[in-house]
Structure formats: C-alpha cells, structure tokens
Chain A
Amino acid sequence: MRTIYFLWLRQIKKYFRSRSRIVGSVGQPLLFLLALGYGLGSVYKSAGQGNYLTFLVPGIMAQTVLFSAMFFGAMIIFDKQFGFLKETLVAPVSRFKIMLGGALGGATTAVIQGILVFIISLFLGFRPLHWVDTLLVLIFMSVLALSITSFSSAIGSFVEDMQGFQAINQFIVFPLYFLSGALYPLTRVPDWLRIIAEINPISYTVDAMRWAMIGTSRFGLLHDLIAMGITLVLMLVFGAVRFRYIEA
C-alpha cells in the first residue's frame, strides 16, 4: 500500500510542479467552451434544442478528463526515455503495483483538471440543475479517469516514442471522443454512427455526467453505470497485463 501511495504521490507532485501542464490542459477545453459554446450556441438554440453551453459543459469536462488521463501514457514513455522506469522495474515491487500507483496518480490529476474546467464553466454562465447530484460527477470522472489511465499505461508500455503515442491518440482517442456525444447529441445521426456511439465506452460517462448535472440521459443511469463498471474492469486488466511485459 505504501508503495502505491508513494507512486501516486509522485504523479501528484510532478503535476503541481509543472505549471505549464496545468495551464496547457485547461487551455484546450476553455477554447472549446468559448469557440463552440458561443459560436454554435445560436444555431443550437434555433434548432430548438435549448442552451448549448448547458449541453456542452459535461461533455467538455469528460473531454478534459479523457485527454488528461491519456497523458499518463506519455508520462510512462517519458519514464522510459528519462530512464526512471528501470529504477522501478528492478525494485522488489510487483508490476501491477507500479502501474496502479501511477494510474491512480494520473487519474487524480485528470479529475482535478475536470474540476478546474467545471469552475471555469461557472464563470462562463453555466449552472448545474442539481448541485447535490453534481457531486456524483466526481465519481463518474474518477471511474473514467482510472479506466483511461489504465488504458494509456497499456499503450505506454508497448509504444516506444511520443510519435507513436500521438498516432494512437489521433486514431483511437480523438474518434472515440467525437463519437461520444460530448459535443453534439447523437440522436439524429445515421445508424452506423449511432451504433459506434453505443459501443463507445466514453458515451456512457458523458451520458451519466449529463444526467447528474443537467438531468437528461439517453441510455439511463443504470446502463451508464454498468457500462462504466465493465470498462473500468476491462481496462485495469488490459493495463495490468500489458504492463507486465514492459521493457525499459
């Protein structure tokens, strides 16, 4: 437990010591909120859908958590390149603990990022429907964050350099994000797109967050929770198995 705690703490310390990382990873969601929230707001309204910013904020928070958590995979690649990974691999600690400690740390920083975006959105005029339900968002974000940091540890363990990692980000994570319903409702889209959205695990977190913050849900909370739970378990296993074969 102590090992996991210290490896967690390491990620937290590194996060708070890198001001550029904090600013950088809030900058992108802020841009999305401003450019899309204000830019598309009137179109969305005239289509009879209501306030776009209200719809968008939970999606952008999920986006923030998703990409911040993916960054943990890049941290593993940095650890390979800076050599620190070897120090952990020769230590008498199981690979699973090494992965879990880091993944929990990465997930914590991702959730902090999500909260920062929430606070920013309050300044932009966003108001959640129920403040108490909104607290549940913390749990949903945590589950998403840990699923994604586990996934990215798997990626980080077999990708050799940042270019390869970026490619995976571009070809897997970005499409999943765009097809998660984070930016626009996926109710009136072609069937093939809807099917992809329905097997996309991120859709369910976005849906659950919307349920908690603005009271609308497409799949129903129970479905969301089941999907999120299954995703978390699968990703933890995927991360743990792949990480066992990591080479420094």
Chain B
Amino acid sequence: MIDVKHLSKRFNETLAVNDITFSVEPGELFALLGPNGAGKSTTIKMLTTLLKPTSGELSLDGHDVLKEPHLARKSFGIVFQDPSLDTDLSAFENMQLHAVMYGLTLKQSVKNSEELLKLVGLWERKDSLVKTFSGGMKRRLEIARGLLHHPRVLFLDEPTLGLDTQTRNLLWQYVDKMAKEKAMTILFTTHYLEEAENNATRIAVIDHGELLKIGSLKEILKDTDSKNLEQAYLKLTGKAIRDEEVSPHETWRAIRRARSMR
C-alpha cells in the first residue's frame, strides 16, 4: 500500500532522510518512531507531496507519488503535526471545503460530514467558528476532516500531541474503528511509545534519517533483548537529547498550538 524505496532528502548540508526503504501492507497500522529531528515528518511530507525527495521512489495505493501526485493525493488523508484548520470558518465549513477539493458530491459531503462529526463528538458544534474550539476539539475536527473523503491511506503525524489521556484514548478508539470499518492503511508517528505498543501492527524506528529497525513489537523486543518498547527504543536511539531545525512557520505554529492547549 505504501512503498518507500531508497528515499533520501538533503537540506543544504544535512541529510534529513538517508536511503530509507520500507513498505506497509494494506490494512496495517504502522508506527514510525524516532526522536525529534529523526526524519519522521520529512518522510511524511515527501509521501504526501509537500516535499520533493532528493532521490528515491515513493508509491501510494499503486500510484507513483512523484510522477502522479494528483492520483496519489486522492488516495490519502493526513492529520498534520500542527494545526491546519481555517479558524475563521465553522467546523462544517472546514469539512465542506475539504469535500469540494476532493471532488465529493454535495450529498456525499453532507452525509460523511455528519457521520464523522458525530463520531468525534462535534456535531452539535458544527456551526461554531473553529477559533472558539479548544485544542482537543480542533484535533478531533482535523481527524474527522482527514477521513472525510474515505482515504485508502491515512497519515497521522503525532495526532495526539498535547492531548489529555481521555481524548487520546478516545481518539485511538476512533482510529482503530475506522481502520477496521473502512479497511484503511494507517501510518502514524508518536512520541507516546505506549500508543505504538498498543495499536501498531508493525513498528519502524528511525534516527538521524536512517531506518534502524523494523518489525512487529515481538520481533523488535526479541532482536533488542528488551522487556518493553521504551527499553528497545532507548537501546536503538541512545539517550542524547536532540535539537531539531525547523522552518519559521513550524515554530510559529508550535507556539500557537501550545497556546491553544491551555
């Protein structure tokens, strides 16, 4: 479903992603783990056509991401690491605009929006402007929006960052349910290792742009001779704290997100 072959991305001097190869089978819930700056988001950006790789091949649902970006874009949904809603529009208007861009008919759009907004518990607030929403509500809306066009592949880039435990649990329930009901393939990143432990069918650990380990939880624990994922993860990636270089917009959005979580 997702095929990544010898993927590399160079920003000036730094090699953010270095010759990564992996594939995700249909119906999998695949976790991509790694410290800050490991190359997770860069990989997702390349898979979702936001960044052009320096070299390598990418395919999604049988479409070459680089040669047929338009077809690839139709087959995936994404929940970004940082906010991507128009806060001057209502929840429903955000959904509607998304539906139009993905070519849904008005009928489909209304039906799917209602179903999803009810699922994430925002149906009663559908006509409120998004700027009046709390951080958790915005996150739920983004997830509903990402699923609106029934994508075959869903990318979740740290979907639960900054959410409380209740919301996180609820969210994973939705995601599990959606994955099973709609037979979706899901690739997610997270810093909460228990989320990967509990939900992922397979896990990949990357650091410094390189793929360190890939396999099921059992395989990774066995290979690294660890009792739990955290132990395995620390054995693989070490204990040093990382600095991450980000674009000014990302810094800005991170500040906004932190504010909205208060």
Contact = CB atoms under 8 A, between A and B. Distances in A.
Do A and B share a complex? yes
B84 A86 contact: yes
Contact of A3 (B73, B100, B129, B252): B100
A92 B249 contact: no
Interface residues of B, number: 34
A89 B50 contact: yes
Interface string A63-106: 00000000000000001111111111111111000000000000
Given A92-B103, A93-B101, A82 B83 contact: yes
A198 B117 CA distance: 56
Nearest to A86: B84
Given A80-B249, A82-B83, A160-B248, A91 B93 contact: no
B70 A84 contact: no
B98 to A, nearest CB: 7
Nearest to A7: B97
Interface stretch (A9-17, A140-148, A214-222, A223-231): A9-17
Interface stretch (B74-82, B177-185, B201-209): B74-82
Contacts of B194: none
Contact of B73 (A13, A85, A91, A161): A91
B80 A13 contact: no
B72 to A, nearest CB: 8
Interface string B90-104: 000100111011110
B48 interface: yes
B100 A83 contact: no
Chain A residues touching B, majority SS = helix
B249 A248 contact: yes
B101 A88 contact: yes
A2 interface: yes
Residue among B89, B98, B249 with the highest chain A CB neighbour number at 10 A: B249
Given A81-B252, A82-B256, A90 B50 contact: yes
A14 B94 CA distance: 12
A18 interface: yes
A80 B74 CA distance: 22
A82 B87 contact: yes
Contact of A86 (B70, B80, B89, B93): B80
B246 to A, nearest CB: 13
Contact of A90 (B78, B82, B85, B256): B78
A10 B50 CA distance: 23
Interface residues of A, number: 29
Nearest to A84: B86
B86 A10 contact: yes
A7 B100 CA distance: 9
Interface string B46-74: 00111100000000000000000011011
B12 to A, nearest CB: 15
B88 interface: yes
B83 A92 contact: no
A92 B73 contact: yes
Interface string B193-215: 00000000000000000000000
A99 to B, nearest CB: 14
Contact of B253 (A14, A83, A89, A92): A83
A84 B84 contact: yes
A228 B73 CA distance: 37
A82 B50 contact: no
Residue among A3, A6, A86 with the highest chain B CB neighbour number at 10 A: A86
A10 B83 contact: no
B80 A83 contact: yes
A83 B73 contact: no
List the 9 shortest-distance A-B pairs measured between CB atoms, nearest first: A91-B101, A83-B84, A92-B73, A92-B74, A6-B100, A87-B84, A14-B88, A84-B86, A83-B83
22 contacts: A3-B100, A6-B96, A7-B97, A10-B86, A13-B88, A14-B89, A82-B256, A83-B83, A83-B249, A85-B84, A86-B80, A87-B84, A87-B145, A90-B48, A90-B78, A91-B98, A91-B101, A92-B103, A160-B248, A161-B248, A247-B51, A248-B249
Given A10-B93, A87-B84, A94-B70, 6 more contacts: A14-B88, A14-B89, A79-B86, A80-B249, A84-B85, A93-B101
